[in-house]
Copies of this chain bind each other. A is one copy, B any other.
Amino acid sequence: MKTSGAVTIKDVAKMAGVSPSTVSRVISRNPKITPETSEKVLKCMKELGYYPNAIARSLASKKSGTIGVIMPTTSEDVLLNPFFPEALRGIAKAASKAGYDLLLSTNAEKGEELKVIKNFIRGSKVDGIILMSSKVNDECIEFLTSLDFPFSLIGSPHCFSDKINHVDNDNYMAAYELTRHLSMTGRRKKIAMIAGDEKLTVTQKRIEGYKKALEESNIPFKHELLFMGSFDEKTGYKYGSIIADLDPRPDAVIVTDDVVAFAAVRLFESLDVKIPEDIAVASFNNSILSRYSNTPITSVDVNAAKLGKESMKLLVEAMESGVRGSKVITPYTLHKRKSTEG
C-alpha cells in the first residue's frame, strides 16, 4: 500500500513538539486538548500533508468506520431492476453523511452471503451490515442476531421482527390497495397475480394483501390464479401467456415487478388482448418502463432510495447506541395509469 510519503503521527508530533498521544487526541477532537496545542498540531498536519492511517486506527480502536453492504447474489435481480442501484444510492448518501465507507459484497456465487458476512465481521472490516433483501429463514439474519452484531435489513424479517432493525414498505397494504383499485375500477371477475420468489418475505406480504382485497371484494381466491416466478421478462411472458389462455380469462392481473408486468403486457398485446379493456395490469416499482411503456402501467413506487437511506440511519443507531428492533415503515405511492383505467 503506497501512502505517498508516509507521514505518520510521530512526524507530526516531532514537528509540533508534542507527544503522539496528543496528536492522536487532536485528530479525534478530544475536547481536553487546549485550543492552542490543537491549533499548533493542526498546522503541522497540514504542513506535512498528514493523513491518518485508517487501517492502523481501526486496529487500535476496534472501529473500522465501514459498513458492509450485502447485495443479493443473482445478478438478474440487480441488473434488470432499478431497485438495488437506487437503494444503494440511498445507502451511499446516508453513509457519506454519517461518515462511513461502504464495503460491497462481491460474492459471485449464489448462497455465499453468509461466508462474506463472516469474512467481513471476523476480519474486523466492518462495524455494521446492511442486508439488502430479506428471505424467509435467512441464515444471515440468524447469524447476525446470534452475534448481536449491528445490522439492518431492507424488507421485513420472517420472524423475531421485534429484535431486528428493519425498514420496509407496507407491502401488505400496497398489494391490498392495488388489488382493490382493480376491483373498484370494475374488475370483478377474476384477478390473477404474478408474484415473485416465495422465499422472499415481500412476496408473502403482497400475496396476503392481494387475498385480503379479494375477500373484501367478494372475489374468491383461487390457487390456480396465483403464479410464482422471478423478477424477469421470462416470467412475464410465461405466465402472461397462460393467463391469456385461461377460459374465462381473468380481467385483471397484479404483478410483483414492472419488468415482469411489461413483458406480460407485450405478450397480451401480441395476442390482441386489449389493455385495459380486456385485462387490466397493475404492478410494483414504478420503473421507467411502467411510466413510458406504450400502455403506461399502474405501479406502486416503493421509493427504494428512501428505503436505503433509512436502513443506513437505523444501522447508525444500532452501532452507536445499541438500538435493536427498530422498525421503519416507508411510504409508497400508487401511480394510476392507463393499464387500469375503468
**Interfacial chain B residues near A259, Cβ < 8 Å:** 288
Q: Does A64 contact B (CB under 8 A)?
A: yes
Whether B85 pairs with A1 at a CB distance below 8 angstroms is no
Whether B63 pairs with A92 at a CB distance below 8 angstroms is no
**Interfacial chain B residues near A85, Cβ < 8 Å:** 78-79, 84-85
Whether B51 pairs with A2 at a CB distance below 8 angstroms is no
**Interfacial chain B residues near A53, Cβ < 8 Å:** 59, 122-124
- Quick one: closest B residue to A90, CB to CB? B75
Whether B79 pairs with A121 at a CB distance below 8 angstroms is no
Whether B3 pairs with A51 at a CB distance below 8 angstroms is no
User: Which residues of A line the B interface, CB within 8 A?
Assistant: 1-4, 51-56, 58-59, 62-64, 66, 69, 75, 78-80, 82, 84-86, 89, 92-93, 95-97, 100-108, 118-119, 121-127, 147-149, 259, 262, 266, 288-289, 292-294, 305
Known A55-B59, A55-B124; 20 more pairs at CB < 8 Å: A1-B58, A1-B64, A1-B124, A1-B126, A3-B122, A51-B118, A55-B64, A56-B59, A66-B103, A78-B89, A79-B82, A79-B85, A79-B86, A79-B89, A92-B104, A97-B108, A100-B106, A101-B104, A102-B104, A289-B292
